[in-house]
Amino acid sequence: MNKTEIIQWLQERDQAKLAELFLQADKVRKESVGEAVHLRGLIEASNICSRQCRYCGINADQGHSIPRYRMNLDEMKHCALLAQEYGYGTIVVQAGEDYGLTGAFITDFIKWVKANTPLAITLSLGERSEAEFRDWHEAGADRYLLRFETSDTALYQNIHPPVKGQKHHDRFEILKQLKGIGYETGSGVMVGIPGQSYDILANDILSFQNLGLHMIGIGPYIPHPDTSLGKGENIIEIPASEQVPNNQMMTCIVLALTRILCPETNLPSTTALSTLSDEGREQGLNCGGNVIMPNLTPIKYRKLYEIYPAKSCIKEDADMFNKQIKDRIEAIGRTVGTGRGDSVKFTNKC
Ligand code: 5AD
C-alpha cells in the first residue's frame, strides 16, 4: 500500500468500505499471528518525570500539582508475582523518565524476575543511555518500548520542549540502537494530536514498516486539561480539513492499516482506546489487535499515573479485570494467549 492509498483510507468515511478494511485487517491478523490475545501485566513504576511533553498529565511541568511516587523493589516484585499468578506471559515496566529509577535498581529487578518467574520483561522507561539499555538487556530484559509519537520534526519539537542542557534525542536512532542490542523493539504514536495532518499520520504508518518494529502501540490522543496542549496553547495551526480527529473510528483505521502493512507485529488494543468507550478493547482486537495490557499497578498509585484523564483502568481491581478480560476475549471468538507471546516478527528474526 502506498502513501496515497494510506491517506485515502485515513480520509474514508463510508462505513461499508471501512467495515471491509477492518475485515481485511482481521484476516491478516488471523493468518499472521493467530487467534491468541496476549496479556501483558502493566506496572507503572514511577510517575516522576524529567520531561515536559506537552500532552502528558505527569510531565515535569505539573510540578507539585500531583503527588509523585516511585515504587520500591518489594512492590514491583509483588506486581510481577501477580502477573505470574494470572498466567500473563509478560510484565511491562513503564514510568516517567525518572533517573531516580537507577540503572542498577532496574537491573536488580530484572535479575530477580528472571531468577524467580518465567515472565518476559518489557521496559518502557523513556530515553535512557545506551549503557543502560545494554546492561538491562544483558540482565535479561527482552523488549523495549519507546513511542516516537510523530515522524514530523516540527510537530515533535512543538510537543516535546527540549530538556534544559540536553540535545533533542532522535528517537528513530534510539529505536535502531535498541534493535541492534537485540531487544524486541516497540514504538508507536497517538492519533489526533493537534497539528497532526493526514499526511503526517501516513508517514508515521510508513515509518512503522520501515523501522521493522516488533510491537506498535497506537491510541487516541486524549486532551489533559492540566497540560498546555490540553489547554489549546501554542498549537500548530493546520486547516481543519487536514487535522486528524482523535476519535475511536480514526484509531481503528490506523490500527487496521498498521496490521495490513506490518502483518507479524504485536499490536495492542490500548487502554486509551478503551477509555473512549467501553467496547473500545474489543473494537481494537477486531481490527488488527492481538495484545491487551491489564494494569497491575497498586490501586493507590493508579490515579497518580493519569497521563490522560479518566483512564479506563483507574479504579479497576486487577483481580476482577483479570477474570473479566478472559471472558471478553473468548466472547469475541478469540483465545487467551499462553506463554510469553513473543512477536512472530522477532522470532522470524527480522
Ligand atoms: N493522550 C493519549 N495518550 C497519551 N500518552 C501520553 N499522554 C497522552 C494523552 N494525553 C501516551 C504517549 C506515551 C504513552 C505512554 O502514553 O504516547 O508514549
Short-list 151, 169, 253, CA closest to 209 = 151
116 Cα–ligand 1 center, Å: 32
Short-list 180, 112, 110, CA closest to 142 = 110
pLDDT of residue 286: 98
Residue range 30-40, pLDDT digits in tens: 999 999 999 99
Q: Please count the other Cβ atoms lying within 10 Å of the Cβ belonging to residue 17.
A: 11
Q: State whether the beta carbon of 293 lies less than 6 angstroms from ligand 1.
A: no
pLDDT of residue 167: 67
Q: Closest residue (by CA) to atom 14 of ligand 1? A: 147
Percent of the chain with pLDDT over 90: 88
Q: State whether the beta carbon of 56 lies less than 6 angstroms from ligand 1.
A: yes
Q: What is the mean pLDDT of residues 280-285?
A: 96
Q: State whether the beta carbon of 136 lies less than 6 angstroms from ligand 1.
A: no
For the cut 70, the answer to whether the pLDDT of residue 307 exceeds it is yes
Q: State whether the beta carbon of 148 lies less than 6 angstroms from ligand 1.
A: no
Q: State whether the beta carbon of 149 lies less than 6 angstroms from ligand 1.
A: yes
Mean pLDDT of the chain: 94
pLDDT of residue 60: 85
Q: Closest residue (by CA) to atom 3 of ligand 1? A: 221
| Chain Cα centroid distance, residue 337 | 19
Residue range 14-63, pLDDT digits in tens: 999 999 999 999 999 999 999 999 999 999 999 999 999 999 999 988 76
pLDDT of residue 93: 98
For the cut 90, the answer to whether the pLDDT of residue 162 exceeds it is no
pTM score: 0.96
92 Cα–ligand 1 center, Å: 15
115 Cα–ligand 1 center, Å: 32
